[in-house]
Structure 1
């Protein structure tokens, strides 16, 4: 208690002139054991600490603001005849305006004042005109705690009373502050009684709210929501914020997404807002982008390099000059391929028969799915539906350049993974490659390389083979690479076990071998594939997503012709492509079918 609040220092007042003040902050009943202990102490030694009182205008009496329990217990002892009726108690007088904070401060350090009583005390001080800072200073509380108490002070009286009675905990009380509606608070309490827990109260009261961290809220942005007149409701501790006007923020999100769709669908046949990726997939087949606007010079250069590359690749052996040229062409093709990828996009023809779907992603950002071909449009598109079985067979099973490229990567990745266990064979490949290259007799695709056949960035795929290669890499003992000097690296490497060295050897040699799929029939790569019994079907099988949906209708019917015969083609050739994909992919024969480029009899 600050001395500036004292009207009269310690003096004695007869018990008969003291009454308990309604401003006394302690409303919660103390424990019976504590009362008995204090009463016994007063009986033996008297009241050892003064009471805090304020004069009652127009009378000779005083109201007790601090020390009410001691006053009550003295009254009991007077009735029991321990003290006389005019027994005097030591008191300190303060002004009536300061009796509340004096009462709360007087209780500091004794049996803890119940939070419900503190809440009421803070409310009364605020009503008297004191600021949060003044209240915090006088009651020795932090500003944030005073603010929280003020919010709790607006709870329905019933909630405060149940809290004081110990029927609900503080965590539940804090959740009731999510709404200022007393009727809703009481309804919530009665609905949950007797199991009134904080998380249940939160769920009950926020059922019609939206979390401010939801995808919709993040997409719209809280500033835009508030600028449109939206209201936010925070919990007592400031840990979570809720959107009160859910209809408003949903409209803002719809309008913003509609504008995004208008921009993204420009030039496409149609555009649609969907709930997510799954709903977008249900609209139809998602076409793969083609190459658009590739400069003629780049196209001609690729054709020229490929032609020369294939010519050298068909030779059984290359001299030194040819070997160097082959290496240069290989590197140039890789670089040209990267340049061409920059021109991946949808053609005007693709846009004319497909559309765009947009949705709000889990990260709160707009997502766009382009190139969706509806099943109705598939049926209208020019296809092989009217072809005879003979025409289909003559046309063969053609694959797009993008699909062929992906199949090539899948094949090489699977081949690398399959070669990992054959350390002895990889050792032979390495030694032979060094010897042949050193003697300059020929060029082999297994020439020791510093640039390995790895797949990263746009070429990276999540496949069974990729997982196997990644796991193998993680298990390699490559700690020697952390050494700064070459000699230190070498000594550290020498210290490895034979098994650890074999694993390193097998991994990096396997990644140095060229793709058997694009190498000559008698190439070393194909010899290795034969030696290890490589079968790509152990790592990959065609399904609707990775293969069949990426074919045109003609090739699909061609596969059906191979697997099921002419009658099947006649029965299904009128079916839309999307449905045809589902029919084929569900058949066990189709799951075991292998594209021609993967077969051992490929040409």
Structure 2
């Protein structure tokens, strides 16, 4: 006979006078977070107590109830009530709704406190948006809603912007198929059809970052000279139904492609076709991406195959090209300027010899079976294929004594770990962004000098971080001092130290958000070259052999290697502070950037020498007009800046790029504080001292047309 289920008995509830309640020492909440006690008290005063307190009778030494009740769960509500009593807004004997635990219960007070705090579920942002929307529809303003829920009006306005997102995308977000940051990115364009079109294009794509969504939503057209258009071909784009806008009155560089989403889809499909062709070679995996970020192969071992030797015909062709090249050089050795046909012939011969010298590589079959390939686009729109990268998890195991298998390479796998994905024709796993294959809107410009956009700050400081790595990598003394600072902090500031008796490590910071030109910069190539040089010399794989090798190195080489390793731990990237969760706090970010300034001064960092310059893409096209004028004013003087003041932003950015080229001007975030402090004009100094004569500046025709006939008179009138 089946036994009846035991019925659950809930704890009774009753009103208890406030002066009979005391705060329990069993309450697990110790850290202040969230709504303050003062704000909670105001909310209780406005709407009353929404949730009862969890209490238990207080027993004396003989186990007899004292008439007092302790509160293990609900301590913040009790403190808010205490504040109201202190303010004489609540009677000291006012009844308080309570859930009373029996004395005989086996549940500990700490158990109740922990359960109440851990079993809460924060309100989903979409539910918050719908609640705010309902309150607004019932007549409450954004300020009233913000005041009622103790949030800034900006938070309410931000949530209300979700009303401009297509309902279908709201449902996608509700199902956790996209992040809140991705959802907010769709608010830049209120066209629901365009929003859905962009989501369909990116949901299975290599990049679903919010900035990518904004770029696609705000990008109305793509130049035919764009590398994506070059890779696909304008004719293929038109055959797929795309339209091209052409200017009939002036050169348009091939026109503008009006459907960026279609172009992105064609690029993705073409890359997949190329990857499937390469899969026939037998590689284990292929990762395809329009852009490969800097450091994409971090943690992987590079295979170096053997070049296929030239055939007899190729050797003969190369010799003939070389002989003709040397003959032409000898015939025209005394001429300063070569005839055009001769220059073209020499260039053609160089290209032909280069094509013969760049031999395909042959790899061992076992290596191919465990290695992979990166397929992407180069800067000119051509196909870029990088073969022979072995991930840590794919390394061949080594059988040690006792038949115990262990990996011959230690460490964690890279960011490109392969999961079950699309299979190529040869069983190769083809992924895009680690997943299976299947521009920011401009703010209103009121002329005020606003802070730099968050993403631009991240990109600029990523450039600075990489330049610092390169500089520290060739400055052993600075690197040693930097390492000593880290060790001294760990030794003498024990609050920040943890772990074993000695922990000193370098963890490379992956630059996940960065400018697209970062990996092709001069300093990036310098860092990569130095890395490759050390990799070629170091006997990696056997710690005993490596120990002997390092011991035998001279002191200068040891310091150079130390500097190189320390440089990979530098992180001078700006990021948004997070005071409650993962990431960096506001004070931590301030200290990081201040220390990076000290480091920049120590290594004599010059971002101009590092190759950064202000262009439309890197800075000028992404800041308000006031910032553009401020840059020209600093570099060229007030007079030159006034000449640009009447232009639209796009024209102003292009002209400012021309004026600033070669000037050495840098945004504040990229300047060295020691040089900046010594060269900047102080307040009250005569501005005229920094002006260049207007007539000495080469200006385009459309600006010259706006100049008065007597520039001196214009300057005097100012």
What is the TM-score normalised by the length of structure 1?
0.35
Give the structure with higher Rg (CA). 1
Identify the structure with the greater helix proportion.
1
* Structure showing greater relative contact order (alpha-carbon pairs closer than 8 Å, 6 or more residues apart): 1
